[in-house]
A = this chain, B = another copy of it.
Amino acid sequence: MARDARSTREQIIQAADALFYGEGIRSSSMDAIAAKASVTKRTIYYHFPSKDDLIAAYLAARDEPTFARQAAWLDETKGDLPAQVLGLFENLARAMNTPRWKGCGFIRAAAELAGTPAHPARKIASAHKKRFEAWLEDRIAATGLSEPALRARQVMLLLDGAAAQVLIHRDPAYALAAGQAAAALVTKTA
**Which residues in A have some Cβ–Cβ distance to B below 8 Å?**
22-24, 26-27, 102-104, 106-108, 110-115, 117, 122, 125-126, 129-130, 150, 153-154, 156-165, 167-170, 174, 177-178, 180-181, 185
Contacts and interface: CB of A to CB of B under 8 A. Distances in A.
A26 B114 CA distance: 12
A117 B102 CA distance: 9
A111 B104 CA distance: 9
A38 to B, nearest CB: 22
A125, A158, A160, A162 pick with most chain B CB within 10 angstroms? A160
Contact of A161 (B111, B130, B164, B180): B164
A153 B126 contact: no
* This chain's copy number in the assembly: 2
Nearest to A153: B177
A131 B27 CA distance: 30
B168 A125 contact: yes
> Which 10 pairs between the two chains have the least Cβ-Cβ distance?
A161-B161, A157-B161, A111-B111, A26-B26, A23-B115, A108-B111, A160-B164, A102-B114, A154-B181, A160-B161
